[in-house]
Amino acid sequence: MLYVLLGEDDYSVRQSLEKIKDSVGDETVRGANIAVFDGRQLAIDQLRNSCETVPFLAEKRLVIVEGLLECFGVKANARRKKGKSRADQADTYFQDIAGYLHRIPDFTTLVLVDGKIGNNNPLLKEASSAKAEIQVFPLLNRDRLRQWIRRRVKEAGGSISEEAVRLLEKYVGSNLWVMANEIDKLTLFALGRTIEAGDVGEVVSSAQEISVFALVDALLEFRVSEAEKLLEQLLQRGAAAPYLLVMLVRQARMLIMIKELRKQGRSGVEIRGKLGLKSEFVFKRVSEQASRYSLERLGEMYHRLLEADIAIKTGKCEGDLALNILVAELSQRRPFSTPPVRTA
C-alpha cells in the first residue's frame, strides 16, 4: 500500500500518519516494524531493503519517508540543470524511485510525507499512477478553522461559545498544534462549563501579552537580535501576524496616551480608566514601560506599526514578512521623518 500525505497543515498530516501507524500490528512489536527515512538522503537500496524486510511478528511493515517529493520539485530541477553529470544521476535516481513505487511488497505500507507540493511534481504524478492514496492538508481558512475548534472542544469533553470561537481563531491562528494545546488548557480552566470569550482572553492571551511587552522593549531599545528572536517565538507559538500587529499597535498607543495624560497632570486612576485596563498587572507594566522612553521614539514606532498594518490589510505584504521588515526598520539607529502622532 502506498500513501502520500501532503500539506502545510502539519498537525493534520501527523494525525493521519498516527492512524496509519496504529494499523501496523500490535503495539508491543510496532516499533520493530516501522522505519523512518529522510528523503533528501535516501538511497534506492535503503528504500528497497527496508520495504522488503519481512515484518516481525506482524502482518504489516511501515516505511515512512519524509521530504522525498520536494527533491523532484521545480527548484530541484533547476539546480540539476547546471551540470550534465549531476542531471544524469538525478534522472537515474528518479527512475529507480518511481519504478519501485509500483513494486512495493504486499506486506509493506510505504508513506511519503511532505509539505506543500505542486501538482506538476513528477514523483507525485508517478505515485498517483501507482494508485497511491493521496491526502492533502492545506492550512484551514477561517470558517473551516472555526469548525475545527468546535469539533476539537467537543472531543475534549467541553463546549464553547461562538464569541470564544472567534476570539480563539483571532488569537491563535491556523497553527493547529498550538490551537489544540490552548483548547486543552481552556477545557481544564472552564471545569465543565461553557468556554467563554473572557476565558480565552485570560488563558490564551496572557502569555502572548507578556512576550509583546518584551518585544516592544527590544524594538524601542534597538536590540535587533532579541527582537527578531521574540518575534520568531511568538509566531512559532501560533500568534497570527494580524493579531500580533494589533497587539503591538495597542501597546504603542497606550504608551503614548500615558505620556500625554501624565503631561496633563492626570492621576493613575484616571489614566487607567482612559486606557480601559481592568488588569492591575498590565497597567503597572505599561506605566513602567512608558516611563523609560521618549515620546519621539514612541511616535516613530507607532507610525511604523500603522504602515505595516496598512501593508498587510491592502495585500501589499504578507503578515510574517511585514513584521520581520518592521523589526529590521525599528531596530536601526537612525532618525526617521515621522508625522505628528494622533491617538484619539
| Residue 129: per-residue pLDDT | 92
pLDDT higher than threshold 50 for residue 64: yes
> Averaged over 252-273, what is the pLDDT?
89
> Averaged over 267-272, what is the pLDDT?
86
The CATH number of 205-330, from 3.40.50.1390, 2.70.40.10, 1.20.58.190, 1.20.272.10, is 1.20.272.10
| Residue 339: per-residue pLDDT | 41
| Residue 338: per-residue pLDDT | 41
Q: Which three cell numbers stand for residue 147?
A: 469548525
Q: CA torsion 42→48→50→54, rounded to 10°?
A: 170
pLDDT higher than threshold 60 for residue 150: yes
Q: How far is CA 265 from CA 261, 270, 286, 290, in A?
A: 7, 10, 17, 15
More confident residue, 234 or 16: 16
The phi, psi pair for 158, rounded to 5°, reads -120, -175
More confident residue, 209 or 317: 317
| Residue 152: per-residue pLDDT | 94
Confidence of residue 22 (pLDDT cuts 50, 70, 90): confident
Fold of 2-136: Rossmann fold (3.40.50)
Indicate the domain borders of the chain: 2-136, 142-203, 205-330
Least confident range from 218-222, 255-259, 293-297: namely 218-222
Least confident range from 80-84, 98-102, 248-252: namely 80-84
Q: What percent of the chain has pLDDT over 70?
A: 87
pLDDT higher than threshold 90 for residue 99: yes
Confidence of residue 35 (pLDDT cuts 50, 70, 90): very high
Please name which of 334, 271, 333, 329 lies closest in space to residue 303, comparing C-alpha atoms.
329
> Averaged over 188-193, what is the pLDDT?
88
More confident residue, 177 or 39: 39
Angle (deg, nearest 10), helices 205-220 and 295-313: 120
CB 191 within 8 A of CB 230: no
H/E segment holding residue 203: helix 197-203
Digit-coded pLDDT (tens) for 232-246: 877 776 677 777 887
| Residue 207: per-residue pLDDT | 57
Q: Would the pTM of this model clear 0.75, i.e. be above it?
A: no
| Residue 85: per-residue pLDDT | 55
> Mean pLDDT over all residues of the chain?
83
Q: In what order do the strands lie in the sheet with 108-113?
A: 34-38, 61-66, 108-113, 2-6, 133-136
CB 152 within 8 A of CB 164: no
| Residue 208: per-residue pLDDT | 61
Its sign, for the CA torsion 245, 310, 288, 262, is negative
Q: What percent of the chain has pLDDT over 90?
A: 32
> Averaged over 163-192, what is the pLDDT?
85
Fold of 142-203: Helicase, Ruva Protein; domain 3 (1.10.8)
| Residue 220: per-residue pLDDT | 79
pLDDT higher than threshold 80 for residue 137: yes
Residues 63, 33: Cα–Cα separation, whole Å: 8
pLDDT higher than threshold 80 for residue 281: no
Least confident range from 12-21, 44-53, 71-80, 244-253: namely 71-80
Confidence of residue 126 (pLDDT cuts 50, 70, 90): very high
